[in-house]
Structure 1
Amino acid sequence: MSEKARNLKPALLVVALAAIAAAFGVYLKGEGDGKVEPAATQASTAAPQNAVTKVLSTGTMTAFVVKADRKPVPEIAFLPENGGETSLKAWKGRVVLVNLWATWCAPCREEMPSLAKLQTEMGSPEFEVVAIAVDRKGLEASGKFLKEVGATALKLYADPSTEMLGKFQAVGLPSSILIDREGREIGRLAGPAEWDSPDAKALIKAALAEK
C-alpha cells in the first residue's frame, strides 16, 4: 500500500465519524423548535403507573385480582348503625375496603377479626374498612355477630335487601372490594383472607400512596 493511501485512512475515519454525529443530531431534532428530548428524559416525565399492580397479589393476597380498567362502584343504599340510609358516596375521597359478609357465613366468622385488626391498625381519615352485612336479619343480628367474633372495631352496616351481591357481581361471601379515592374499584378478593397480614397492609399502603 502506498504512503498516500495510508495517509487517507485517518481522514476518512474523521469524515465517517462526523457523518455519524450529524445523523445522530438529526435523529434528536424534530419540528417546531427543533429540539426533542432523548428517550430517557421523555420516560422520566411520563405519568406514573397506578401504585397498585399485580405484583402486590402475592402471599396472603394471591387471590386479589387487580382491575386493569377501573370503573366506578355501584351506588347502593345501605343502613348504618344509627339508622337512616347511606351509600359509598359518603366515602368519596378516601380509600375503602368494602367487605360483604353475613351472619350465617362460616368463613366470614373466621375472617372478621382480621378485618377488625386492619381497621384498628390502619383506619384513619384516609382509609376505612366498611364491612356490610348482606343479611336479611338486619342490623340487630349483625351487631350481635360482630360482638361474638370480637370485631367491634368495625362500624356496623347492613343491607337487608341483599342487593349488594348482585350489584357488585359478588360470586359469594365473603367478598372484599378495594376502592380508590375516586370511587373506582381497584380490585377484589373472593373468599376469606388474612387482612391483618403484612401482604394485605402493603396492598392498602399502595392504594393510599396513589394520588
Structure 2
Amino acid sequence: MKPIGYVVVAVIAAAAGFGIYQFALAPRMNAEVPQVANEANTTPTEATAEADSSADGLPETLPDFTLANLEGQPQSIRSWQGKSMIVNFWATWCAPCRREIPLLKKIQAEHGAEGFQIVGVAVDFRDDVLKYAKEMSIDYPLLIGEEDGLNAVTKFGRGSLGFPFTVFTDNQQRLVLFHLGEIHPEQAKIMLAAVRRVNAGELTPAAARIVAAKQLQELPPAKE
C-alpha cells in the first residue's frame, strides 16, 4: 500500500457544472466558486466563467516553481522562454483530466509551431504518472510532484481548487487566463485567440480576460 502522508485526498464532487474533482489542500480552504454563484445571484456556470477570467488573487506573471521532469531531472516551469504557456494541472485519478489529454495533445501538435507550449503538471505519484503518460503517448513536457506539486498549486493564490485547472500566458509569461475544469474544443479556440491578441499587442491581459469571459459565457453547455 502506498503511504498517504501529505498526499491530497480526492473527493468526487460536481463543481460549478464542470463535474470536476475537488480536493482538500488545507482545512482553511473553502469552495469559493459556489459561494460566488450564491452571492451574485447567477448560475454556477456563469460565476465560474467570471471567476476563471478574473485577475483577483492571481499573480501577474507565471509563478516560478521547479519539479522533476519525465527524466527525473529538476526543471523550472519558466524553462520555455518566449513561449505562450498552457500549464495544465492534473492527476491520473481525475477523470476530467484524463478526458482532456487528447485535446491538449492536439493543441500542441497544431499550435506549437506558432509558439504555444503545453506543459502538464501532474500532482500525483511519479510511477503512476510515468505509466499513464506512456499509455496515453503524452508527447508534451510533464513536470511531476507530490507535496512539491501541491506547493506549486498554492502559488496561484486561488484558494480551493479542483483538477484539472489550466493557466494561459502570453509569450512574456504574463498570466492571461485561468480555467478551472475540463477544457472543451470551443473553449480552447476562444482562449487561444485571446492569447494571440495579447501577443499581437491588441489587448492587455486584463482586457483579454474580459473579452474571453464574455465569449465563454455565450457558448452553449458542453455535451457530456
Interval of TM-score (by shorter of Structure 1 and Structure 2):
0.5 to 0.7
State the Cα distance separating 1:70 from its structure 2 match: 6.7
CA pair 201-153 structure 1, distance change in 2 beyond 3 A: farther
Alignment partner, residue 159 of structure 1: 145
In 1, Cα distance between equivalents of 2:137 and 2:104: 8
Residue 173 in structure 1 maps to residue 163 in structure 2: yes
- In structure 1, the gaps of 5 or more residues are 1-60
Equivalent residues of 1:95, 1:181 under 8 A apart = yes
Residue 91 in structure 1 maps to residue 77 in structure 2: no
CA pair 182-85 structure 1, distance change in 2 beyond 3 A: same
State the Cα distance separating 1:202 from its structure 2 match: 4.0
State the Cα distance separating 1:199 from its structure 2 match: 4.1
Equivalent residues of 2:121, 2:143 under 8 A apart = yes
Structure having the larger proportion of residues in strand = 2
Q: 1:146 aligns with which of 127, 130, 133?
A: 133
Counterpart residue type for residue 128 of structure 2: A
Residue 184 in structure 1 maps to residue 154 in structure 2: no
In 1, Cα distance between equivalents of 2:65 and 2:59: 18
Counterpart residue type for residue 157 of structure 2: Q
State the Cα distance separating 1:192 from its structure 2 match: 0.8
Looking at CA atoms only, which structure, 1 or 2, has the larger radius of gyration? 1
Equivalent residues of 2:75, 2:143 under 8 A apart = no
Alignment partner, residue 113 of structure 2: 124
In 1, Cα distance between equivalents of 2:173 and 2:181: 22
State the Cα distance separating 1:66 from its structure 2 match: 5.1
Equivalent residues of 1:117, 1:153 under 8 A apart = no
Equivalent residues of 1:94, 1:180 under 8 A apart = yes
Q: Secondary structure at the match of 1:123?
A: helix
State the Cα distance separating 1:94 from its structure 2 match: 1.1
Equivalent residues of 2:59, 2:156 under 8 A apart = no
Q: Secondary structure at the match of 1:109?
A: helix
Residue 208 in structure 1 maps to residue 208 in structure 2: no
Deviations, residues 85-131 of structure 1 (Å, cap 9, x unaligned): 11122122110100000111122111222111111221236111111
In 2, Cα distance between equivalents of 1:152 and 1:88: 18
Give runs of ≥4 in structure 1 deviating > 4 Å.
61-64
Alignment partner, residue 51 of structure 1: none
State the Cα distance separating 1:201 from its structure 2 match: 2.7
State the Cα distance separating 1:62 from its structure 2 match: 5.2
Equivalent residues of 2:177, 2:191 under 8 A apart = no
Equivalent residues of 1:134, 1:164 under 8 A apart = no
Alignment partner, residue 100 of structure 2: 111
- In structure 2, the gaps of 5 or more residues are 1-47, 201-224
Counterpart residue type for residue 173 of structure 1: F
Q: 2:53 aligns with which of 60, 65, 68?
A: 65
Q: How many residues align?
A: 148
Identity %: 29
The equivalences for 1:12-51 within 5 A come to none
